[in-house]
Amino acid sequence: MEEKQFGGYFTPETMHVDPMIRERQPEEKIAPLRVHLKNQTSASPSMTVEQLFEKAQDGSRERGRNVLLYGAVGTGKSTVVRKLVLDWCAGSTLTQFKLLVPFSCEDLGQLTKSTSLRDLVSKKYLHLKKIPLLSGEGDQAKDVLFLFNGMEKMNLDFRIGSTELCSDPNEALSSGAVVVNLLRKYMLPEASVLVTTRLSAVDRIPKKYVSCYAQICGFNDPERQWSYFASRLLPQSPETARCREAQALIQLLYLNLQRQSQLSRACYLPSYCWLTCATLHFLQFTDAQAPIRTLTGIYTSFLRLNFGGEVLAAGAGAALQQDQPDSLMLYVVRTVGKLAFDGVTGKRTAFSEAELEQWVGGKTKTDEELHQLAVFRTDVLSFFLVPQVNGARGPQAGWAGAGAGAGAEAEGRRYVFAVPAMQEYLAALYVVMGENKSALEKLTKQVTLVIGQAGEDITSLVAILSKFIPLRIFAVFNLLRLFPSLYERVSSRTKGRIAQTMAAEMFRSEDSYNEDVLDQVEQSLLGVHGPQPQQQLDRQAFELYPIFMGGLLHYENRMLLQQLGCSIKSATVSQITRALRKYLVREMGKQQPPEELMDLLVLLYEFQNPRLTAEVLSSIKTIRLSNVRMSPLKCFVLSSVLSCAPAQYHLEELDLSSCHVTHDLLDMLWPAFRHTHNLNLQFNNLGPESCVLLKDLLLDPNCSIKSLQLCDNPLLESGASSLLEALPGNHSLSRLSLMHTGLGDQGALELADRLHRHTGLRELNVAYNNIGDNAALALVDACREHPSVHTVHLYLNPLSDVGKQSLYVRGVPSDQGGTGAVTGTGRRVKVLASVTEGSDISEDWHPILNIIRKNASLWERERVRQQLQVFLRDLEWGRQQQVSFWKRLHFRKVEKGVRQTLRMLEKDISPTRSAK
């Protein structure tokens, strides 16, 4: 199921990459994985599973070969087993065996009824019920290979007193006894056995019963990592735009692995390669047709892949002493999660050995607890935490960078999470599961449990004593009944505190101008190309932390966590949601930066709660995401969130200017556009083909767009022609801005010809479109005849002085009077063609200059400079015509603003300041 993260066109054959397997000697069999990764030599080449069994061919095969294949969590043991079975079925490997019988040790460990080997096989594989290879007669079993995956999940006891000897495959035994006798070579001695296990369980099988030890070392070379990334990110069709984009993505990832050793160390484990690919696929290749996926869901699935359903074992060869043993994942939350939470609250990503000792097993006392801790440290702890790499780049290195050198060495080695986002996920899980309890809540819970267990006994005792003891004494017993309600009140306040934490972490003022959280995740995987901002180097932001908290409350994630033994009750979710709604509505009443607003949309998307989303949206009237780099995922998030709103809900403004919106993204944004009155799409990458989608949007019966800004998009004449086809059928549009879209004279003439078909248009902006005198005059005449158009923008077009004078005569004078023409209907049309209108200053000179200042750095500089010089010439001529001192002073003021804009353009200064 997890491979569906990458789409439905992959198969195990195309996605599998063999991890490195090395044969080990018994004395080095439990060496940690990362030690071997540092000391690999060509003398120990990589092997295949088939080669591990080929050595049995050099002599007699009176006895089968027992191979123990072990590795750390996440090295790919289960994946190797699955691929091995598929290849054997296809006849491409282990062809010397006529029968391969795979078993899951997790399933075998749950069997309580005694059964024989043959019944065990036939129960799972009915067609093998009477197969002679398992009869035990002769040496037929030499052609059989048994495969036991996950031996650490079984309690195998090789002591004769505990597990009796048995050579009959038809005799009923416990599942553990069957496996032990197969490994002893007492039952079917000719059969071969392949066992996979984790590092902590290697010694459960005595050395004398193991023919060969082999260790899975993961992806320790860049070629294997590259192959893995390509198998999951590259589509099957090589000549597509998606394939080229994926190749560029893999190249960036590969370069970052070479540059950032902390991430490359994590990718030694195939599990972390899977997490990296799943995250990148989610960030880059989300589409509207794919099933709903969330970042929290990816991390939860990742944990289920590696720790699904496991419990803390009490030790080798010993039965569990508890009726309901703790889940392994729950133990991770209480230990590693506590460490992660401590780091998030303290803004730290690196931890000392003393801190690991404090939070992970610092209170263990009994021998059983110490054994559990040893297993946990061997198998699990190194999966989450790895030694910090000296010289690692990125924020995670910055915390310890100041203390590098002798001071850092004195403190000892520091540890970081293999993937930075995992720290935020575990910290969020620690908080949402309520493990961060106050002392009062812990006390009231314990007292409530005691009283609850003794409640019936107290009631019976009170009924008996009431006949002999004065009634006043019973007030003491009534006080005891207050503890459950007191605990409920304390617990409810705790849930409110969780919601308050989520809201506070979402809207931290010091994080307001960081990159949005999805870009931060992408940069952690692909790296930051170019110099990093100083604030990112000085401090660590944990903006995924509150988003993960919201995502963990989603029903599907809670179901996955329940499989891991981490239960989040529906009542808890309800209490947190009610409190969170209040905080989010209050914060959204404030103006938020675009990046913070994008983070809020991601939180609502991860939450997957339509009712909460609709209530939060009711307090939002504008969504301004200007300069946020919109990816397919962000577009999908925006549309998904707005789709939760009722049909009557509409945004006053949706600002997506300078957001890198392309034609392919417009289709994903369609649901969002339907809830918008004012849509700003200027400064994007929309071409003529995009106008077809925009035309369909305007023709939609439910379209509510009143203002559409398409400035600075290369629509050209063909695109404008397609867009204008929507005018007759649209009844909502009142303001259309096509400034700097490449209309030209032909586009302006076509607009003039079709303008009368839309009776609701009120303002039209076609500035900076290379429109000449004749086309401009024709457009203004059409606007004069139109029943509602009152303003036309024509500045920054190559208009002659005569042409501008003609437009002025036909257009609208200022409120103080003029000689503008009046249409037959008595209407007047305001034409903005320059900062002057004849010999007077245009009342709209200031908006014209502001638009030029705002966009000058993005336009053709020489063209803008020439236009500003024309403005200066017009102003100088108009000033000379004035007799009034005050009017001449006004001309000087406007002329000063134009000169300042011209100097700003020539000095290449960012046009952020405007003249007042």
Q: What is the pLDDT of residues 241-256, one digit of tens each?
A: 778 888 888 888 888 8
DSSP 15-44: H--PPEEEEE-GGGTT--HHHHHHS--TTS
Which of the four pLDDT bands, split at 50, 70 and 90, describes residue 283? very high
pLDDT of residue 37: 46
Does the pLDDT value for residue 814 go beyond 60?
no
pLDDT of residue 825: 45
Strands (E), 638-731: 651-655, 676-680, 707-709
Q: How many residues in total does the chain contain?
A: 916
Angstrom distance (rounded) from CA 192 to CA 182: 9
pLDDT of residue 10: 52
Average pLDDT over residues 369-397: 74
pLDDT of residue 483: 46
pLDDT of residue 404: 38
Angstrom distance (rounded) from CA 219 to CA 204: 27
Average pLDDT, rounded, for the chain: 80
Exposure of 236 by Cβ count < 10 A (0-12 exposed, 13-18 middle, 19+ buried)? exposed
- Across the chain, which distance is largest between two alpha carbons, in Å? 124
Helix, strand or coil for residue 213? strand
Q: Which amino acid would we find at residue 351?
A: F
pLDDT of residue 391: 53
Angstrom distance (rounded) from CA 888 to CA 892: 6
Exposure of 359 by Cβ count < 10 A (0-12 exposed, 13-18 middle, 19+ buried)? buried
Tokens of 644: 């939760």
DSSP 570-598: HHHHHHHHHHHHHHHHHHHTS---HHHHH
Does the pLDDT value for residue 826 go beyond 50?
no
Which of the four pLDDT bands, split at 50, 70 and 90, describes residue 27? confident
C-alpha closest to that of 198 among 106, 66, 260, 275:
106
Please give, one letter per residue, the 3-state secondary structure of 822-856: CCCCCCCCEEECCCEECCEECCCHHHHHHHHHHHH
Average pLDDT over residues 601-630: 93
Does the pLDDT value for residue 318 go beyond 50?
no
Angstrom distance (rounded) from CA 205 to CA 860: 76
Q: Pick the range with the lowest mean pLDDT from 473-482, 581-590, 682-691, 861-870.
A: 473-482
b or e along 817-840 (b: 16 or more beta carbons within 10 Å of the residue's beta carbon)?
eeebeeeeeebebbbbbbbbbbbb
Q: Which amino acid would we find at residue 274?
A: W
Which of the four pLDDT bands, split at 50, 70 and 90, describes residue 876? confident
Tokens of 657: 């200017």
Strands 414-417 and 385-387: antiparallel
Which residues make beta-bridge pairs with 212?
A: 67
pLDDT of residue 473: 54
Average pLDDT over residues 862-884: 81
Look at 77 and 362; give whichever has higher pLDDT.
77
pTM: 0.83
Q: Pick the range with the lowest mean pLDDT from 222-231, 466-475, 603-612.
A: 466-475
C-alpha closest to that of 760 among 735, 725, 785, 724:
735
pLDDT of residue 444: 43
Does the pLDDT value for residue 293 go beyond 50?
yes
Does the pLDDT value for residue 897 go beyond 90?
no
Which strands, in side-by-side order, build the sheet including 763-765?
622-624, 651-655, 676-680, 707-709, 735-737, 763-765, 791-793, 830-832
Angstrom distances, CA of residue 218 to CA of 37, 43, 227, 394, 604? 9, 18, 13, 25, 37
Which of the four pLDDT bands, split at 50, 70 and 90, describes residue 818? very low
Q: Is 138 left (phi over 0), alpha (psi -120 to 50) or beta?
A: left
Angstrom distance (rounded) from CA 154 to CA 11: 31
In this predicted model, what pLDDT tens digit does every residue of 446-480 receive, in sequence order?
444 444 444 555 556 555 555 555 555 555 545 44
Angstrom distance (rounded) from CA 796 to CA 852: 9
Look at 531 and 183; give whichever has higher pLDDT.
183
C-alpha closest to that of 2 among 246, 235, 296, 302:
302
Average pLDDT over residues 398-413: 44
In 3-state terms the chain splits into helix, strand, coil percentages (rounded to 5) of: 55, 10, 35
User: Are the C-beta atoms of 46 and 22 separated by less than 8 Å?
Assistant: yes
Q: Pick the range with the lowest mean pLDDT from 20-24, 475-479, 609-613, 665-669.
A: 475-479
Q: Pick the range with the lowest mean pLDDT from 24-28, 241-245, 606-610, 772-776.
A: 24-28
In the chain, pLDDT over 70 holds for what percent of residues? 78
pLDDT of residue 322: 43
pLDDT of residue 370: 78
Q: Which amino acid would we find at residue 419?
A: V
pLDDT of residue 290: 74
Does the pLDDT value for residue 39 go beyond 60?
no
Angstrom distances, CA of residue 624 to CA of 375, 409, 547, 627, 670? 51, 48, 20, 9, 17
Look at 323 and 645; give whichever has higher pLDDT.
645
pLDDT of residue 699: 92
Does the pLDDT value for residue 176 go beyond 90?
yes
* DSSP H or E segment with residue 892: helix 885-906
Average pLDDT over residues 827-855: 78
In this predicted model, what pLDDT tens digit does every residue of 534-559 receive, in sequence order?
444 445 678 899 999 999 999 999 99
User: Are the C-beta atoms of 143 and 98 separated by less than 8 Å?
Assistant: yes
Average pLDDT over residues 608-636: 93
Average pLDDT over residues 260-283: 88
Distance spanning both ends of the chain, measured CA to CA: 62
Look at 369 and 182; give whichever has higher pLDDT.
182
Which of the four pLDDT bands, split at 50, 70 and 90, describes residue 493? low
pLDDT of residue 42: 43
Residue 208 neighbours by CB distance under 10 Å: 9
Does the pLDDT value for residue 442 go beyond 50?
no
Angstrom distance (rounded) from CA 502 to CA 738: 42
pLDDT of residue 428: 94
Does the pLDDT value for residue 329 go beyond 60?
yes
